[in-house]
């Protein structure tokens, strides 16, 4: 079995190296992972016979290699290669307990992602018989001899130094207790024991370095040596032996930096073999200068790639002699006493890879959230597992921050990690004071990451207070150890929020869709979740959504053009029917006149004399021409039918494309959708921070966390939610003592509920605090001039005053409130998101805010309103009710014009006057009235013609569009019409601040009205050419095919000028002009005639009937435009 695995091992190793190489192509990495799985499958039956533990381990290896193509960490493949080497060693000697222990330890290490589960490790102990203890001294003779010789040399040199020393002899097994205090001697003894336990493992790895036949095996052995020395460095640094820690790190770094392809020198191997004994001897006699010099000698070996200089070696040896003295009680702390400016820097390193920094910015908040959740579990009595989790998250954050050069996050996470590691090692539970500091530190890390991502503004003073608080605790524990937890703190802690009162984002009380991650969730679950997503820049998604919107507009235009083609085809069909009737009449006339037409020249006289005309028909050229016309009409009809069939197929194709476009739009929009639970940590942090600042206690419960909405909308909504949370704690929630007096729980309760109503998101916020103080609001409003002292406003009107800009009930400015930036911020944010806000308050029972906003800003359902040829849109969310003006009553009052309907009265405005448009409708009672929701209560707006409701693709106006009050976006309809979308609340505020305002008098002409020109011509091409000329000139164009059609058009449309042809069926241009001049309402209407008749007789007849200007085809466009301009100037 071992021979089989050893034979396949080179191929397996090559596959692992390729699959885990970040520089390789993705296809190559996937293929290598597949080849590994196939090779392992060939070995499976043979190895599976060795027991279930071997089969389970093979599956563990297969899963690890399968994940390598998705990972960018090159160390992952190195760990798997090390694991495979240990597995081969185990197969070769199953009874070697040390190999088995090393195998399970490596597979179960936290650095292995994911680690071997505990139940899998248990299978190994169940699947093998107990092995006999190997007797001491079974190591390879050559290496053991070298070890003995090395130890003898060290003992000899130390004995010589002892003879010249004046101090009394001290036992080799005890530290220099007479020269050091009890605490220092105890720490030295612990380090001596740790080195003794790891000595044999270290020597085995050195032997592998010396005897390795290839570079990979030497690299694995060097990494193992480095890990052992890193453990020594960490332990000695925590004990206060900083110089000894530096020495261990220096040796480990140089071991790893040595070239793996070349043989190591004997002097380096000998030095490493002697290293554990030299370290142990130094720790036993730390004040002996000779032991320190012998220890540092290894770093000066010239065979290292980077040996240390002589002066540096002497300095390090001196520090090794001084370290133990620093452990005395008065020696001070290993941490700095105060935070420096560099400790608070959030600026990344200048040479950092942008991709790495972007990954840290994206993943950092999630790590901070997990750290905060684990700390909350610790404070809730979660035991040792949450402490280990918290330590792991802090360590990960520290490493990532160091890589990116973000010093503030690295420093704070380092202090937190040390505190958590101390609690883990000592098996202690933090006191309430330390727990408060740990929670504040976790919140500080989350705040730093928000500042790094631009979510929060930088606040160095706040960061300094948080880091200093954590640093003070690190210094206290560094000086006093476990006893520091029982000593009263020397620092002044902020007001306690009773951490037990603020539970960690509870999974049990949250919505089932919540994505809050429990602290015990293993990293492999997180890895699988992350691997399921593709990282795409936000700008790419925005461009995709923009293109989807343009695609929707393009398809809509195609539908409009198809409908226009069908209308044209329908008109062509009517013309074809008339042509058929006319051709039939023509043929009948030819048949009737055929007998009287002279025979065709050249016809045979014999044939004429032989046949009677009734016996043989003779066709002349007229008859032949009539038949050809009939055939042409028939062919045209066939072509029309074929074109109609093609348009039908095109219609089906466009409908299919429209369905696909809607699906693409939904999928594209889903890329922007996020769970609202993603912002829960920030809200929880805001609660904790505000509680600390105010000395109050509160808990936040979020339900509906699985509700999805546009991430951009959620980001814009967050400031409003944060303000509500802070406002609730500062103004609403009572102090704990006051709440107990009112028979309320000491902890205030804040609820935030998310839900979906159609394509809208509903957000409900509430607390169980004191509610709004209406008397205080009234007094503040009177003092600020917002309310007349004699006024008697309703409770709801007083509540609405809190939405006014600059309104605050605070007398003094605090860190939390009192700056006049109040609920108007929330209202303005909701308005910018096209949402609505309503507020309720009940004294002594709490405060409620209900918000509704669109789930996405890509599309918006609007009401289209027509003013002449101009269309504009109003978001339907702003409109509460639509009624006909005649169903209510418009009255003049002292407060202005009001609209009364259903027992209520609303301030009334006219949209056309607000926007400076001219309304075509003259009957005001027939217009529509929109009842709008606004921050100043319900208001009524009268509109000219409510066209339809439609979902519009929203586009932001370009940078070249000037700022227009109330213009929130634009959209493009299928026919290419650009429709502005207005926010009515902004328009009304602009009118109140001195905008266009209200003018109720009827105006004969208004700004924005387009004069109307009627083009009358029986030629379709001439009608189109003239209509285009009129439109290009800035006028509105109407068309008619003859005089009768023109009169029908003028009955329903206002016409300011006519351009007519002379010769037309039913009623020609001369007859039309004479009729118009005979009517009082059109007697002065400007009329221009465009005709091909150029004789003086026709001109005189035109002047006689009242033609103002006579144009002969071909006419000049500039002459026609000059006539239009001059004539319309007289009209207006």
Domain holding 1104: CATH number? 3.40.50.2300
Strand 928-932 versus strand 939-943 pairing type: antiparallel
Given this model, what pLDDT does residue 749 score? 93
Given this model, what pLDDT does residue 123 score? 65
Given this model, what pLDDT does residue 1089 score? 95
- Residue 23 domain-assigned? yes
- For residue 781, pLDDT over 70 is answered with yes
Q: Are residues 828 and 876 in the same domain?
A: no
Q: Are 844 and 770 in contact (CB under 8 A)?
A: yes
Q: What is the CATH number of the domain that holds 844?
A: 3.30.565.10
Q: Once rounded to an integer, what is the mean pLDDT over residues 254-259?
A: 82
Given this model, what pLDDT does residue 173 score? 41
- For residue 860, pLDDT over 90 is answered with no
User: What tens digit of pLDDT does each residue of 461-476 get?
Assistant: 888 999 999 988 888 8
- Residue 466 domain-assigned? yes
3-state secondary structure of 836: strand
Helix residue ranges, H only, 672-746: 680-694, 711-727, 736-741
User: What tens digit of pLDDT does each residue of 697-731 get?
Assistant: 999 999 998 888 888 888 888 888 988 888 889 88
- For residue 263, pLDDT over 80 is answered with no
Q: How far apart are the first and last CA of the chain?
A: 104
Q: What is the dihedral of CA 1077, 1081, 1086, 1090, to 10 degrees?
A: -50
3-state secondary structure of 989: helix
Q: Are residues 395 and 469 in the same domain?
A: yes
Given this model, what pLDDT does residue 535 score? 62
Which residues on adjacent β-strands are paired with residue 910? 942
Q: Given 321, 350, 370, which residue is the final one in a domain?
A: 321
Average pLDDT, the chain: 77
Q: Are residues 871 and 938 in the same domain?
A: yes
- Residue 787 domain-assigned? yes
- Residue 1002 domain-assigned? no
Residues 6+ positions from 243 with CB-CB distance below 8 Å = 316, 319, 320, 322, 323
Q: If you search the block for the tokens 């990532």, which residue do you land on?
A: 400
Given this model, what pLDDT does residue 1056 score? 92
| Exposure string over 800-811, b if 16+ CB within 10 A, otherwise e | bbbbbeebbbee
Q: Are residues 33 and 94 in the same domain?
A: yes
- Residue 503 domain-assigned? no
- Residue 212 domain-assigned? yes
Q: How many domains does the chain have?
A: 7
Q: What is the pTM of this model?
A: 0.47
Q: What is the CATH number of the domain that holds 430?
A: 1.20.120.160
Torsions phi, psi for 889 (to 5 deg):
-140, 130
Q: Are residues 439 and 569 in the same domain?
A: no
User: What tens digit of pLDDT does each residue of 998-1054 get?
Assistant: 443 344 334 446 789 999 998 888 898 999 899 888 888 999 999 999 999 998 888
CA distance 1040 to 1046: 5
- For residue 1123, pLDDT over 90 is answered with yes
Top-confidence residue, 153 or 17: 17
Strand 928-932 versus strand 879-884 pairing type: antiparallel
- Residue count of the chain, please give it: 1132
Q: If you search the block for the tokens 């004294």, which residue do you land on?
A: 843
Given this model, what pLDDT does residue 507 score? 37
Q: Are residues 968 and 876 in the same domain?
A: yes
From start to end of 855-924, where are the E strands?
Answer: 859-867, 870-875, 879-884, 889-893, 896-901, 904-910
Strand 904-910 versus strand 939-943 pairing type: parallel
Given this model, what pLDDT does residue 14 score? 82
User: How many other C-beta atoms are found inside a 10 Å radius of the C-beta of residue 1132?
Assistant: 9
Q: Are residues 883 and 835 in the same domain?
A: no
Q: Are residues 840 and 866 in the same domain?
A: no
Residues 6+ positions from 463 with CB-CB distance below 8 Å = 344, 408, 444, 447, 448
- For residue 502, pLDDT over 80 is answered with no
CA distance 30 to 1006: 71
Q: Which two tokens stand for residue 859?
A: 């599309």
User: How many other C-beta atoms are found inside a 10 Å radius of the C-beta of residue 574?
Assistant: 9
- Residue 426 domain-assigned? yes
| Exposure string over 125-160, b if 16+ CB within 10 A, otherwise e | eeebeeeeeeeeeeeeeebeebbeebbeebeebbee
Strand 870-875 versus strand 879-884 pairing type: unpaired
pLDDT-based confidence at residue 647 (cuts at 50, 70, 90): confident
Given this model, what pLDDT does residue 811 score? 58
How many angstroms from the chain centroid is the CA of residue 787?
Answer: 43
Q: Report which secondary-structure segment, H or E, holds 125.
A: helix 118-127
- Residue 142 domain-assigned? no
- For residue 492, pLDDT over 50 is answered with no
| Exposure string over 321-346, b if 16+ CB within 10 A, otherwise e | bebbebbeeebebbbeeebeeebbbb
Q: Are residues 981 and 1040 in the same domain?
A: no
Q: How many angstroms separate the Cα of 819 from the Cα of each of 464, 481, 806, 807, 808?
A: 24, 45, 8, 9, 7
User: What tens digit of pLDDT does each residue of 903-931 get?
Assistant: 888 888 888 788 876 655 555 666 888 88
Three-state secondary structure readout of 1109-1126: EEEECCCCHHHHHHHHHH
Given this model, what pLDDT does residue 923 score? 55
pLDDT-based confidence at residue 261 (cuts at 50, 70, 90): low
- For residue 690, pLDDT over 60 is answered with yes
Q: Are residues 444 and 559 in the same domain?
A: no
pLDDT-based confidence at residue 134 (cuts at 50, 70, 90): very low
| Exposure string over 1038-1049, b if 16+ CB within 10 A, otherwise e | bbbbbbbbbbee
- For residue 779, pLDDT over 60 is answered with yes
Q: Once rounded to an integer, what is the mean pLDDT over residues 134-150?
A: 40
Does residue 570 come out as left (phi exceeding 0), alpha (psi in the -120 to 50 range) or beta? alpha
- For residue 1083, pLDDT over 80 is answered with yes
3-state secondary structure of 1014: strand
Q: If you search the block for the tokens 């009334």, which residue do you land on?
A: 908
Q: What is the dihedral of CA 362, 364, 370, 376, to 10 degrees?
A: -130
Q: Given 965, 993, 1021, which residue is the final one in a domain?
A: 993
Q: Given 854, 876, 910, which residue is the final one in a domain?
A: 854
Q: Which domain holds residue 278?
A: 179-321
Which residues on adjacent β-strands are paired with residue 893? 896
Per-state percent for the chain, helix, strand, coil, to nearest 5: 55, 10, 30
Q: Are residues 849 and 889 in the same domain?
A: no
CA distance 306 to 258: 9
Q: Are residues 918 and 1045 in the same domain?
A: no
CA distance 891 to 834: 31
| Exposure string over 428-451, b if 16+ CB within 10 A, otherwise e | ebbeeebbbbbbbbbbbbbbbbbb
Q: What is the CATH number of the domain that holds 950?
A: 2.40.50.180
pLDDT-based confidence at residue 74 (cuts at 50, 70, 90): low
């Amino acid at each position: 079995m071992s021979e089989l695995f050893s034979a396949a091992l080179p191929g397996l190793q090559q596959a692992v190296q390729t699959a885990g190489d970040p520089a390789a192509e993705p296809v190559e990495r996937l293929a290598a992972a597949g080849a590994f799985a196939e090779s392992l499958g060939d070995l499976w039956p043979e190895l599976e016979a060795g027991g279930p533990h071997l089969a389970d381990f093979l599956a563990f290896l297969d899963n690890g290699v399968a994940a390598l193509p998705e990972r960018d960490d090159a160390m992952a493949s190195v760990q798997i290669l090390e694991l495979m080497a240990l597995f081969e060693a185990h197969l070769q000697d199953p009874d070697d307990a040390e190999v088995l222990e090393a195998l399970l330890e490596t597979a179960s290490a936290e650095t292995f992602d994911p680690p071997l589960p505990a139940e899998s490790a248990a299978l190994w102990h169940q699947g093998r018989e107990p092995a006999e203890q190997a007797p001491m001294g079974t190591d390879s003779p050559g290496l053991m001899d070298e070890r003995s010789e090395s130890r003898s040399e060290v003992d000899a040199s130390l004995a010589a130094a002892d003879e010249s020393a004046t101090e009394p002899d001290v036992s080799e097994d005890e530290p220099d207790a007479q020269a050091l205090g009890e605490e220092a001697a105890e720490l030295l003894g612990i380090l001596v024991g740790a080195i003794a336990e790891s000595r044999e493992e270290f020597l085995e790895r050195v032997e592998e370095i010396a005897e390795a036949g290839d570079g990979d095996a030497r690299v694995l052995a060097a990494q193992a040596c480095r890990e052992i020395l890193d453990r020594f460095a960490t332990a000695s640094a925590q004990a206060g032996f900083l110089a000894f820690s530096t020495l261990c790190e220096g040796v480990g770094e140089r071991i790893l930096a040595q070239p793996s392809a070349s043989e190591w020198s004997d002097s380096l191997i000998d030095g490493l073999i002697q290293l554990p004994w030299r370290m142990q001897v130094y720790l036993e006699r730390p004040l002996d200068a000779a032991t320190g010099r012998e220890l540092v000698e290894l770093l000066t070996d010239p065979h290292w790639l980077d040996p240390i200089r002589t002066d540096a070696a002497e300095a390090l040896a001196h520090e090794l002699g001084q370290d133990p003295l620093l452990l005395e009680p008065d020696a001070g702390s290993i941490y700095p006493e105060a935070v420096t400016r560099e400790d608070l820097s959030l600026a990344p390193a200048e040479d950092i890879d942008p991709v790495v920094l972007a990954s840290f910015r994206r993943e950092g908040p999630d790590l901070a959230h997990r750290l905060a959740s684990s700390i909350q579990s610790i404070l809730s009595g979660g035991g040792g597992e949450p402490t280990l989790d918290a330590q792991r998250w802090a360590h990960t954050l520290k490493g990532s921050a160091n890589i990116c050069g973000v010093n503030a996050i690295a420093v704070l996470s380092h202090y937190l990690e040390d505190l958590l590691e101390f609690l883990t090692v000592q098996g202690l539970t933090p006191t309430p004071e330390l727990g408060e500091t740990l929670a504040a530190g976790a919140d500080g890390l989350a705040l730093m990451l928000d500042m790094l991502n631009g979510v929060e503004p930088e606040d160095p003073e706040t960061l300094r207070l948080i880091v200093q608080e954590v640093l003070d605790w690190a210094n206290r524990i560094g000086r006093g150890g476990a006893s520091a937890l029982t000593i009263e703190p020397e620092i002044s802690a902020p007001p306690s929020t009773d951490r037990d009162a603020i539970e960690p984002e509870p999974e049990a009380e949250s919505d089932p869709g919540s994505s809050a991650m429990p602290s015990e969730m293993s990293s492999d679950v997180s890895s699988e979740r992350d691997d399921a997503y593709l990282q795409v820049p936000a700008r790419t998604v925005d461009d995709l959504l923009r293109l989807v919107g343009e695609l929707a507009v393009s398809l809509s235009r195609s539908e409009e053009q198809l409908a226009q083609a069908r209308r044209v085809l329908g008109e062509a069909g009517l013309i074809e029917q008339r042509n058929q009737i006319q051709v039939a009449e023509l043929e009948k006339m030819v048949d009737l006149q055929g007998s009287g037409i002279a025979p065709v020249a050249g016809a045979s006289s014999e044939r004429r004399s032989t046949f009677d005309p009734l016996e043989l028909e003779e066709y002349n050229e007229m008859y032949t021409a009539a038949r050809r016309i009939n055939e042409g009409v028939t062919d045209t009809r066939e072509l029309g039918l074929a074109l109609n069939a093609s348009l039908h197929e095109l219609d089906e194709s466009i409908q299919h494309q429209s369905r696909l476009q809607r699906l693409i739009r939904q999928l594209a929009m889903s890329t922007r959708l996020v769970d609202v639970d993603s912002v829960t940590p920030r809200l929880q942090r805001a609660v904790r921070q505000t509680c600390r600042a105010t000395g109050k206690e509160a808990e936040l419960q979020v339900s509906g966390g699985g509700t999805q909405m546009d991430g951009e909308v959620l980001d814009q909504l967050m400031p409003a939610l944060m303000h509500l949370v802070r406002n609730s704690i500062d103004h609403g929630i009572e102090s704990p003592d006051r709440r107990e007096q009112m028979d309320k729980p000491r902890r205030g309760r804040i609820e935030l509920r998310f839900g979906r109503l159609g394509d809208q998101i509903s957000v409900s916020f509430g607390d169980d605090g004191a509610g709004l103080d209406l008397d205080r609001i009234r007094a503040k409003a009177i003092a600020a001039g917002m309310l007349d002292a004699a006024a008697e406003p309703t409770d709801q009107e007083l509540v609405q005053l809190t939405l006014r800009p600059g309104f605050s009930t605070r007398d003094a400015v605090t860190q939390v409130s009192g700056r006049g930036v109040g609920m108007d911020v929330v209202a303005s944010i909701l308005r910018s998101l096209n949402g609505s806000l309503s507020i309720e308050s009940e004294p002594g029972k709490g405060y409620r805010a209900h918000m509704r906003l669109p789930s996405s800003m890509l599309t918006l359902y609007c009401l289209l309103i027509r003013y002449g040829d101009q269309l504009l849109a109003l978001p339907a969310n702003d409109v509460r009710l639509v009624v006909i003006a005649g169903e209510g009553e418009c009255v003049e009052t002292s407060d202005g014009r009001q609209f009364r309907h259903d027992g209520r009265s609303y301030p009334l405005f006219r949209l056309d006057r607000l926007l400076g448009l001219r309304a075509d409708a003259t009957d005001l009672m027939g217009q529509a009235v929109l009842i709008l929701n606004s921050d100043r209560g319900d208001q009524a707006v009268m509109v000219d013609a409510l066209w339809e409701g439609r979902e519009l693709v929203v586009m932001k106006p370009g940078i070249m569009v000037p700022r227009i009050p109330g213009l929130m976006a634009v959209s493009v309809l299928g026919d290419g019409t650009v429709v502005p979308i207005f926010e009515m609340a902004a328009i009304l505020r602009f009118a109140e601040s001195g905008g266009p305002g209200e003018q109720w008098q009827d105006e004969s002409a208004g700004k924005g009205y387009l004069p109307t020109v009627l083009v009358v011509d029986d030629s379709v091409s001439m009608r189109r050419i003239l209509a285009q000329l009129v439109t290009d000139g800035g006028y509105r164009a109407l068309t008619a095919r003859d005089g009768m059609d023109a009169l029908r058009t003028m009955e329903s449309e206002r016409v300011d000028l006519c351009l007519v042809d002379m010769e037309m069926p039913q009623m020609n241009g001369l007859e039309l002009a004479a009729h118009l001049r005979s009517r009082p309402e059109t007697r002065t209407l400007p009329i221009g005639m465009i005709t091909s008749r150029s004789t003086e007789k026709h001109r005189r007849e035109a002047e006689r009937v009242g033609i103002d200007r006579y144009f002969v085809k071909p006419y000049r466009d500039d002459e026609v435009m000059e006539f239009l301009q001059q004539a319309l100037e007289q009209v207006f």
